[in-house]
Amino acid sequence: MKKLDIANEMTVSEIALGCMRIADLSRDEAERLIRTALDEGIDFFDHADIYGGGQSEAVFAEVLTQSPGLREKMFIQTKCAIREGYYDFSKEHILRSVDGSLKRLKTDYIDVLLLHRPDTLMEPEEVAEAFDRLHAAGKVRTFGVSNHHPMQIELLSKYLHQKLIINQLQLSLTNTTMIDAGLNVNMENAQAVNRDGGVLEYCRLKGITIQAWSPLQFGFFEGVFLDHERFPELNEKLGEMAEKNGVTKSAVAIAWILRHPARIQPIVGTTNPARLRDICRASQVSLTRKEWYDLYKAAGKTLP
């Protein structure tokens, strides 16, 4: 597994394991998944306080407590701010959420804390105070956001004493809004609509690592595009490149994300150890520029 430097703060695996769905696993099943990830070189694990109602963090902790020393081999990221029916960046909620995650994860610190979705009622001064307290107490080492556009990050950054090092955004071969607008500048087609505020280029300029969530999904959790009847041309092209490289279609789809010079870190959410091993082969696939664009167009995108 190749490594990725995040803001000179940490060097981690270029592919991360998303733990949203492990709440339904037994301790033994979760241990097999986690150990498979570590064996494949994955050392970055993504959580959120809402995943499984907190149970995903708890199941993960069961594995850690059974294997002393395992915690020191990994980087743990979690997220907060989504509540039932609304978002909450208040100081009290952030502090309470982190304490809850630490308790469920049975760890003394979180490597990265992300604010999960933007809260339009945000008071950035409160967020700054919460981050200062968490950092000073050693509870959180670094910070980031998820699903934020550039001006929201700028507003937060004006008040924070810590650099925001990660922005987790939806990106897959079928969900490419942050790429589309940059390829269709000065055009009148639908792909020219800038829905993300130039977030791809902004993060590159600011040294913020983009993490791609749902890298194998289409729509908003509508399903996996691999072998789906809605994407025949894309799957045909993925199949050709998979055969050429001796890997699976899933590995090629992840390699497409890894090929981008923004050094994007895919967050893969499979709970199947065998499938995870297949996906990790993406780290060994080097797509040419033409192959990257061929896949982009096969997904239904057009170039001006």
- 82 part of a folded domain: yes
Q: Does 216 map to a domain?
A: yes
Per the domain annotation, does 75 fall within a domain? yes
- Is 245 part of a structural domain of the chain? no
pLDDT in tens, 195-250: 999 999 999 999 999 999 999 999 988 899 999 999 999 999 999 999 999 999 99
Active site residues: 51
Of 56, 1, 68, nearest to 29 by C-alpha is 56
Q: For the full predicted model, state whether its pTM sits above 0.85.
A: yes
Residue 233 belongs to some domain of the structure: no
| Number of domains making up the chain | 1
Query: What does the mean pLDDT of the chain come to?
Result: 97
290 assigned to some structural domain: no
pLDDT digits (tens, 9 = 90+) for 76-116: 999 999 999 999 999 999 999 999 999 999 999 999 999 99
Question: Is 153 part of a structural domain of the chain?
Answer: yes
Range of the domain at 169: 3-224+262-269
Residue 284 lies in a domain: no
Taking only the tens place, the pLDDT of each residue in 14-52 is 999 999 999 999 999 999 999 999 999 999 999 999 999
pLDDT of residue 63: 96
CATH label of the domain that carries residue 102: 3.20.20.100
